[in-house]
Amino acid sequence: MSLLSIQDLSVTFGPFRAVDRLSYEVNAGEVVGIVGESGSGKSVSSLALMGLIDYPGKVTANELNFEGMKLLEMKDKARRKITGDEIAMIFQDPMTALNPCFTVGDQIMEAIAVHQGGSRKERKLKAVDLLRQVGIPAPEERIKSFPHQLSGGMSQRVMIAMAIACDPKLLIADEPTTALDVTIQAQIIDLLLDLQRQKNMGLILITHDLALVAEAADRVVVMYAGQVVETGPAAEIFARPSHPYTEALMKSLPESSQGKARLDALPGVVPGANDRPSGCLLNPRCPYATDKCRTEEPELIETDGRSVRCFTPLTQQEDAA
């Protein structure tokens, strides 16, 4: 049984579908990367999973199971207990994700107190130990620091310490390195992956960074305008992208444009609430679009463990050629 299984998860704000029939699974000890441009519904889907979508947003799903428990049918309180104990989340901007009014020690100890209890002394020891695990020097001193006294990288380490404080089974990292500079990014990702392997957690890694996903993830979900356009094992997808959107994302990496004057960028932007094209949502931006793409909407079709939402997947064309 998989740790988390999502079937046809949709999040709607009025008539606008921010997430449209999203399905994926995460197994224990597995890293799933979710990639896509800004506005493609990556973050919203993870918020929906945690039950953080407020009115007027509406969440529906055929299945939203965590260890076989149906999250959508649970009472609010029971659900909070599960999400708090078993699922943890790391945010994009560590500088705003810590409460400025309390020391980092207090905040970590609070998380431990709520889910595990123990005396103040035990919790303090545990907090120091957690800070040491995430590689913060002089943790005994640092637990007395306030968030504004820490750098971005340090704050993100503290966030990770808080996230793993109650030994979650699933960790959602929502663009955990976007607000950090490049050298720190690598350190934070290494730390995350280390901890993930040590504790055999499931990890959902939401990011723009394709190189990172290619390196770290077991499986990839590529999202565009709220829909999954391609999923499959990371290695295969990056070796042979099947959907034109995946291909375009990879072409837009600086590495793939070496020797060229300009970067191969995908023209246009993700369609918003009021400018959705008919047919395939990508068709105005897709170099391969045909008349069929402009009128009919493609379905997600699975072959050999990979799914793709396209009438003319690139891999099929290659095979035919």
Partner 1 sequence: MTQSNPTVQKPVTPLAEFWFYFRQNRGAVIGLAYVAFIVMMALLASLLAPHSPTEQFRDFILAPPAFSDGGSTQFLLGTDGVGRDILSRLMHGARLSLLIGLVIVLVSLVMGICLGLMAGYFGGVIDTAIMRISDILQSLPPLLLAIAIVAVLGPSILNAGLALSLVYLPHYTRLTRASVLAERNRDYVVASRVAGAHAWRLMFITILPNCLAPLIVQATLSFSNAILDMAALGFLGLGAQPPLPEWGTMLATAREYIQSAWWVVTFPGLAILSTVLAFNLMGDGLRDALDPKLKQ
Burial string for 193-214 (b: 16+ CB within 10 Å, else e) reads bebbeeeebbbbbbbbbbebbb
- Can you tell me the distance from the alpha carbon of 82 to that of 307, in angstroms, rounded to the nearest whole number? 30
Token pair of 46, please? Answer: 């993870």
Q: C-beta of 247: minimal distance to partner 1 in Å? A: 33
**Residue 135 in contact with partner 1, rule: CB under 8 A:** no
* Cis peptide leading into residue 56 (ω within 30°): yes
Alpha carbon separation from 315 to 236, 241, 307, 308, 319 (Å, rounded): 11, 7, 12, 10, 6
- Binding range to partner 1, per CB under 8 A, among 34-42, 67-75, 97-105, 118-126: 97-105
Binding to partner 1 by residue 93, rule CB under 8 A? yes
151 near partner 1, rule: CB under 8 A:
no
Which of 141, 167, 190, 302 contacts partner 1 by CB under 8 A?
141
Establish if 106 lies at the interface with partner 1 (CB under 8 A). Answer: no
The nearest distance, CB 81 to partner 1, in angstroms, is: 6
Of 66, 91, 238, 245, the residue at the interface with partner 1 (CB under 8 A) is 91
69 binds partner 1 (CB under 8 A): no
Stretch of 14-22, 100-108, 220-228, 235-243 contacting partner 1, by CB under 8 A: 100-108
Contact call for residue 140 and partner 1 (CB under 8 A) = no
Label residue 252 exposed, middle or buried (CB < 10 Å: 0-12, 13-18, 19+): middle
Alpha carbons 189 and 181: distance in angstroms, whole number: 12
Given 154, 162, 206, 286, the residue binding partner 1 (CB under 8 A): 162
Site residues (vs partner 1, CB under 8 A)? 50, 52, 55, 77, 80-81, 83-85, 87-89, 91-93, 96-102, 111, 114-115, 138, 141, 144-146, 149, 159, 162
